[in-house]
Amino acid sequence: MNNRYAIILCGGSGTRLWPLSRTLRPKQLLALNGEQTLLQQTAKRLAQHVAPANLYTVTHEDHKFEVKGQLAELFPEAVANVLAEPCARNTLPAIAWATYQIYQQDKTAMIGVFASDHAIDNDANFLSAWQTAEQVAEDDYLVLLGIKPHEPATGYGYIKPSQQLSKNGALPVHQVAQFVEKPDLEKAKQFVADGYLWNSGMFVFKASTFMQMLAQYQPEIYQQICAINPDNLAKSYAEFPNLSMDYGLAEELVGHAEKVAVVPVDMAWSDLGSWDSIYARHEKDTNNNVTHGEVLNLDTQNSLIWTETGLLATLGLNNVVVIQTADATLICDRSRAEDIKALVAEVKARKPELTEIHQTVFRPWGSYTVLEERANFKIKRIVVNSGAKLSMQMHKHRSEHWVVVSGVATISNNEIEYTLQENQSTYIPQTHRHRLANNGTEPLSIIEVQCGEYVGEDDIVRFDDNYGRFTTK
């Protein structure tokens, strides 16, 4: 089926998995369920059913380069189809934008929409449900994948199925009678008993059907999508309303007795929305603990103990979550893991940088890690990928000292170009135009010491950049 496409939704900030997940590196870009990131696991899963060149990913502008880098490790052909939102406008504008891009080149396209931050253990059941949904979507239905619940969860929306449709594939398909918002526990228990399904946020539809439904029920978004200006994307995108796919289209269709169906499926699914859900999906030791990194537990049971840096030692704990990163540590009762959002709001009010960035920050050319920062100085470890270069830039408030740790650095310093080998160093005075490049085949690693009255990341004036970032005119 050459006209089969998949849209990966790769937005969101993932505050419930703080301090590991932060605004500039949310959970879908982290390896929380194995060695690959959740985005990479999603792309691999979808590529079992869709040609990698037909994978479209919608992300935020802040995450564009890392998303492209992660996809390039698996499917270089998918990188060209990464769409970067200038601002967040919820799932309906994101899906509409990607669908319109596909529809413009293939009017017969069959599209599946999937989140980038979910875990699915049973790929066979997932693929079977997707194929069944496609068969129903051929009859101009909007089809959802509904998860068969294994507990009365209050963190998910629910779908009420009604009569079974006559046409189906390997799995039964039902008309959707109603969408229900996240319930309290008593209602959730009743929903499970009555055969309701969790709303996974996965959709399957023909591009032509979606565009027709959008034109009828959200004509404003339809007109904006068709008139979107790629040369002034920020202005065009900011004019979209903030609407979810469920509220803005699916519920509208059900309310007007339109063609909306659901495929019930049990595929060992989780949205990995809390530390307790991470605990539930990992293998436990003899004390029922889940550990990650260098951990030493003594008389500790039923806990998630996770460290990204250094040794983490516990004594006499039970039913707790401990997450250690280089600059922040979380300790909470596992039963309160769903309440972390309130804690993160408090952290953001006091130290907003701890909710926004990691000490390691990824850039299109590689990454940097802040090793130490105090008044008037900052120390970084910078890694430049093979064949990559930073922008031609200068700083108004700081000078920089560079020491090569490994690799060969090619440096432009006020139009003088030279190379540095391992253990050699150079000095970049304040206001000098300079550029760092790695023309070798191995990663380049340097230590950078910044000194000056201000060492903030926004003290950069760019004159030339290979990655389309803003440059000074």
Taking a C-beta distance cutoff of 8 angstroms, is the pair 20, 323 a contact?
yes
**Proportion of the chain above pLDDT 70, given as a percent:** 97
Burial of 3 (0-12, 13-18, 19+ CB in 10 A): middle
SS3 category, 411 = strand
What would the pLDDT profile of 277-336 be if each residue is shown by its tens digit?
A: 899 989 999 999 999 999 999 999 999 999 999 999 999 999 999 999 988 999 999 988
pLDDT for residue 473: 45
Average pLDDT, stretch 403-417? 96
Alpha-carbon distance 373 to 104, whole Å? 49
Beta strands (DSSP E) in 353-467 are 360-363, 366-374, 377-384, 392-394, 398-406, 409-413, 416-420, 425-428, 434-437, 444-452, 461-464
Taking a C-beta distance cutoff of 8 angstroms, is the pair 35, 49 a contact?
no
Average pLDDT, stretch 181-190? 90
My answer on whether omega of the bond before 76 falls inside 30° of 0, hence cis, is: no
pTM: 0.86
How many beta carbons lie within 10 A of that of residue 107, not counting itself?
A: 12
Question: What are the backbone angles phi and psi of residue 36, rounded to the nearest 5°?
Answer: -95, 155
Q: What is the mean pLDDT of the chain?
A: 91
Contacts of 255 (CB under 8 A, 6+ apart): none
Domains in the chain, CATH or no CATH each: 4-270 (3.90.550.10), 284-350 (no CATH), 360-464 (2.60.120.10)
Average pLDDT, stretch 444-454? 96
Taking a C-beta distance cutoff of 8 angstroms, is the pair 149, 197 a contact?
yes
Average pLDDT, stretch 215-235? 89
